[in-house]
């Protein structure tokens, strides 16, 4: 280990299970030379073999140091012990089941050092949340301390780089004492109090936050009284630690984040599905905290919908608030891909966005004196000020933004998007939607850097009136393919309905993205099938796979009986005779061909073009390979049953939602 340690990675562990393997893999692959940083693992008295595993791992990793303490019940004390043991100029905290991206320490340290940062907030992804912290990581900011839109330390978790001398100078440590919910907020509020330079690194992926079942973060539940007790404590800490006049902006940003996302975020679309006793508890606790800590002036941080809910919460009218949640619910932005094409090395993706829920319900609006206003039932007459019901500016300012998200790393990058507002009905019942076109240039889409090869999901971030939904986008589109010296890239619809950008046939072979023309010929042991759907005008050749099945009618019948028996016994296996065979895609000018090498001339079934809308996916290549005939093949019973079950669940969810809305409407 070098004398000058640049970064000390501190990891608190407690029965991490397989998650520890993920931590170690990410540390092993760091691009910062291993003699320039260290990793300190502090085990919090795990009752299993965690400490022995850590010792064994450390034996072959000079960068790794390991210690164990008596169980403290929370990551705070282990982190503090690790900080005291650290030798690095900066300290990076990791949870025991997460990962650092490969260039996290190298680029994070260089960025922080150049900026003179007391703390660096690096680009973070969360496994199951495509929209996680998008607005935080819009651009690189050597100095983000003076932002006024959101606090630069949000998300306020500890997955950041902190200058160790800064932490020691101000005595900043994690609050100890057993279970401390939101210990990271208490820590980062102290950081915000003293930091002179807060930096944001958006151009290099830094941290991947996994949420593992049974972890401490999964025990945070609004239905628990201690959740509300700790929220009160968080607000008290913000007010006490950031009470200086020069910290007023930071104090307001932290406070309003708690107000908007935690307190008022309680009254969402699932609130009415909670038991009555639980709703009563939530309303009581939220009402008390609002009355004590959030005067009406703090409503400026809320969206229009949340402001209406906040007014009813402040008045103590629980019944009317519940009625409002049914009469004016949060309607999500739903986007779908309508088309894709390659132009000058970039993908142009067309998207349509509407605000509609799973039951088909949309916002209730009407025209009044040339303005668009909320159309609420008569029971709300005089309750809200007219300007609070006027959504004209919200509709005019609605936006949608397109992004790409790596299937492997889960990193999301937003891309240039042009959106346009359209009206479905400009009469007394106005309705609208957005169309948008995003441009994804693979060579520069990652904030000037190339996208990694692999699969990228398309995402859409729809915003209306300050409320945002960010989701992966479905669509039924004709595949768009490009072939060049780097390989292949294709945009297509996956079997689950999501649209993806697939480099080098990572997810689907080109054989399922092209359409056979019906022309087949034999050249020695080569079977040549003419296809369409590939870009013309350039010579290109590349390997692919094609699904084939040489079974005759007798074998197919026998396999069908075997599969039925296995299904009945609950042990389904693949017994359909299909397998993937090597093939080649060849393009020469306008000629596009799929080539198989088969020494025999027997009949065979092929699956080609399964991802092309409207194409019969199964074909029979007759004996002698002279004709290609489409056939209709029934899907396996297992697939059919799964689809039927999914349809039943979807119908049940929609039926329950409609019934709930009807009941609330009748109240």
Kindly report, residue by residue over 165-186, the tens digit of the pLDDT.
Answer: 999 999 999 999 999 999 999 9
Q: What is the DSSP letter of 519?
A: E
**Lowest mean pLDDT segment, chosen from 226-230, 520-524, 560-564, 602-606:** 560-564
Q: In Å, how far are 118, 119, 506 from 91, measured between CA atoms?
A: 11, 9, 37
Q: Return d(Cα 458, Cα 352) in angstroms, integer.
A: 13
Residue 123 half-sphere exposure toward CB, CA atoms < 13 A: 26
- Closest listed residue to residue 522, CA positions, set 604, 617, 589, 632: 604
Q: Is the dihedral of CA 626, 630, 632, 633 positive or negative?
A: positive
Output the six-digit token pair for 533: 């759907």
Cβ proximity of 162 and 197 under 8 Å: no
Whether the pTM exceeds 0.95: the reply is no
Mean per-residue pLDDT, 578-588: 93
pLDDT in tens, 184-203: 999 999 999 999 999 999 99
Among the residues of 47-131, which ranges form H helices?
Answer: 50-59, 76-85, 104-115
Q: Residue 421's CB: how many other CB atoms inside 10 A?
A: 13
- The helix/strand/coil state of 455 is strand
Q: Supply angle C-alpha 71, 74, 80, rounded to 5.
A: 90
Q: Return d(Cα 308, Cα 506) in angstroms, integer.
A: 48
Prior bond of 155 cis (ω within 30°): yes
Q: In Å, how far are 248, 289, 340, 608 from 150, measured between CA atoms?
A: 13, 22, 35, 50
Burial of 593 (0-12, 13-18, 19+ CB in 10 A): buried
pLDDT in tens, 435-492: 999 999 999 999 999 999 999 999 999 999 999 999 999 999 999 999 998 999 999 9
Q: Return d(Cα 434, Cα 152) in angstroms, integer.
A: 31
Question: Band of the pLDDT at 358, cuts 50, 70, 90?
Answer: confident
Q: Supply angle C-alpha 360, 365, 366, rounded to 5.
A: 135
Q: Return d(Cα 456, Cα 631) in angstroms, integer.
A: 33
- The helix/strand/coil state of 342 is strand
Q: Is the pLDDT of residue 304 over 80?
A: yes
Backbone angles phi, psi at 297, to 5 degrees: -65, -25
Q: Is the pLDDT of residue 625 over 80?
A: no
**How much is the pLDDT for 356?**
92
Strands 7-13, 37-43: pairing is parallel
Q: In Å, how far are 398, 428, 462 from 425, measured between CA atoms?
A: 17, 8, 21
387 Cβ neighbours under 8 A, 6+ residues apart: none
**Lowest mean pLDDT segment, chosen from 233-237, 407-411, 653-657:** 653-657
Cβ proximity of 201 and 123 under 8 Å: yes
Backbone angles phi, psi at 614, to 5 degrees: 85, 0
**How much is the pLDDT for 663?**
43
Q: Is the dihedral of CA 555, 582, 546, 530 positive or negative?
A: negative
662 Cβ neighbours under 8 A, 6+ residues apart: none
Output the six-digit token pair for 250: 């930071």
* Partners of residue 390 on adjacent β-strands: 373
pLDDT in tens, 501-555: 999 999 999 999 999 998 888 888 899 999 999 998 778 999 999 999 887 655 5
Q: Is the pLDDT of residue 666 over 70?
A: no
**How much is the pLDDT for 648?**
53
The torsion defined by the Cα of 477, 479, 481 and 487, in degrees rounded to 10, comes to: 120
- Closest listed residue to residue 533, CA positions, set 495, 487, 597, 483: 483
Cβ proximity of 88 and 70 under 8 Å: no
**How much is the pLDDT for 109?**
98
Q: Is the pLDDT of residue 611 over 50?
A: yes
Query: Which residue has 């005089």 as its token pair?
Result: 382
Q: Residue 87's CB: how many other CB atoms inside 10 A?
A: 18
Strands 119-126, 198-209: pairing is parallel
Q: In Å, how far are 496, 505, 525, 528, 658 from 510, measured between CA atoms?
A: 18, 7, 22, 15, 43
Q: Return d(Cα 289, Cα 183) in angstroms, integer.
A: 20
Mean per-residue pLDDT, 374-403: 95
Q: For the chain, what's the residue count?
A: 667
**Lowest mean pLDDT segment, chosen from 431-435, 553-557, 609-613:** 553-557
- The helix/strand/coil state of 301 is helix
Q: Return d(Cα 471, Cα 459) in angstroms, integer.
A: 5
Q: Is the dihedral of CA 103, 109, 115, 117 positive or negative?
A: positive
Mean per-residue pLDDT, 406-413: 97
Largest CA distance in the chain: 87
- Closest listed residue to residue 351, CA positions, set 389, 399, 300: 399
CA of residue 50 relative to chain centroid, distance: 30
Q: Return d(Cα 284, Cα 17) in angstroms, integer.
A: 39
**How much is the pLDDT for 554?**
52
**How much is the pLDDT for 624?**
59
319 Cβ neighbours under 8 A, 6+ residues apart: 667
């Amino acid at each position: 280990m070098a004398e000058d340690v640049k970064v000390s990675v501190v990891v608190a562990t407690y029965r991490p299970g397989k998650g520890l393997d993920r931590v170690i893999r990410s540390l092993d692959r760091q691009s910062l030379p291993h003699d320039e940083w260290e990793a300190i693992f502090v085990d919090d008295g795990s009752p299993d073999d965690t400490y022995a595993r850590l010792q064994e791992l450390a034996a072959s990793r000079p960068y790794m140091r390991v210690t164990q303490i008596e169980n403290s019940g929370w990551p705070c004390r282990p982190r503090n012990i690790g900080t005291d043991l650290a030798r690095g100029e900066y300290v990076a905290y990791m949870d025991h089941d997460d990962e650092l991206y490969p260039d996290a320490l190298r680029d994070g340290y260089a960025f922080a050092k150049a900026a003179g940062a007391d703390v660096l907030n690096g680009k973070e992804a969360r496994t199951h949340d495509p929209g996680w912290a998008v607005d935080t990581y819009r651009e690189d900011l050597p100095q983000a301390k003076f932002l006024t839109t959101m606090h630069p330390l949000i998300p306020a978790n500890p997955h950041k780089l902190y200058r160790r001398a800064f932490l020691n100078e101000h005595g900043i440590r994690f609050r100890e004492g057993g279970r401390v919910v939101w210990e990271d907020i208490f820590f980062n509020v102290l950081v915000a109090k003293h930091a002179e330079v807060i930096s944001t690194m958006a151009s290099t992926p830094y941290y991947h936050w996994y949420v593992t079942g049974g972890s401490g973060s999964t025990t945070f539940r609004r239905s628990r009284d201690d959740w509300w007790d700790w929220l009160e404590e968080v607000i008290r800490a913000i007010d006490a630690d950031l009470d200086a006049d020069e910290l007023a902006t930071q104090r307001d940003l932290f406070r309003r984040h708690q107000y908007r996302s935690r307190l008022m975020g309680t009254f969402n679309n699932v609130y009415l599905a909670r038991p009555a006793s639980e709703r009563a508890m939530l309303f009581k606790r939220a009402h008390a905290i609002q009355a004590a800590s959030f005067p009406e002036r703090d409503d400026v941080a809320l969206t229009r919908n949340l402001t209406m809910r906040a007014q009813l919460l402040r008045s103590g009218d629980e019944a009317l608030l519940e009625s409002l949640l049914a009469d004016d619910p949060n309607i999500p932005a739903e986007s779908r891909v309508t088309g894709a094409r390659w132009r000058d090395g970039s993908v142009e993706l067309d998207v349509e966005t509407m605000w509609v829920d799973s039951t088909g319900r949309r916002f209730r609006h009407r025209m009044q004196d040339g303005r668009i206003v909320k159309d609420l039932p008569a029971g709300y007459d005089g309750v809200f000020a007219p300007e609070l019901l006027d959504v004209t500016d919200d509709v005019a300012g609605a936006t949608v933004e397109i992004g790409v998200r790596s299937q492997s790393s889960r990193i999301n990058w937003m891309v240039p998007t042009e959106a346009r507002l359209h009206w479905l009905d400009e009469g007394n019942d106005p309705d609208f939607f957005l169309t948008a076109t995003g441009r994804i240039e693979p060579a520069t889409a990652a904030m000037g850097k190339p996208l990694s090869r692999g699969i990228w999901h398309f995402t859409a971030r729809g915003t209306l009136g300050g409320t945002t939904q960010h989701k992966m986008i479905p669509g039924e589109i004709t595949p768009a393919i490009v072939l060049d010296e780097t390989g292949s890239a294709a945009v297509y619809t996956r079997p689950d309905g999501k649209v993806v950008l697939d480099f080098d046939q990572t997810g689907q072979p080109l054989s399922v993205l092209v359409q056979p023309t019906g022309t087949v010929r034999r050249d020695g042991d080569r079977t040549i099938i003419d296809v369409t759907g590939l870009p013309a005008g350039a010579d290109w050749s590349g390997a692919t796979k094609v699904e084939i099945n040489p079974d005759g009618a007798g074998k197919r019948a026998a396999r069908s009986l075997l599969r039925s028996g296995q299904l009945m016994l609950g042990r389904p296996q693949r017994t359909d005779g299909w397998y993937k065979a090597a093939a080649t895609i060849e393009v020469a000018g306008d000629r596009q061909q799929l080539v198989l090498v088969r020494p025999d001339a027997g009949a065979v079934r092929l699956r080609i073009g399964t991802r092309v809308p409207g194409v019969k996916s199964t074909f029979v290549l007759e004996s002698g390979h002279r004709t290609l005939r489409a056939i209709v093949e029934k899907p396996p019973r297992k697939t059919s049953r799964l689809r039927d079950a999914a349809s039943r669940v979807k119908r049940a969810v929609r039926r329950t939602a409609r019934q709930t809305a009807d009941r609330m409407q009748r109240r």
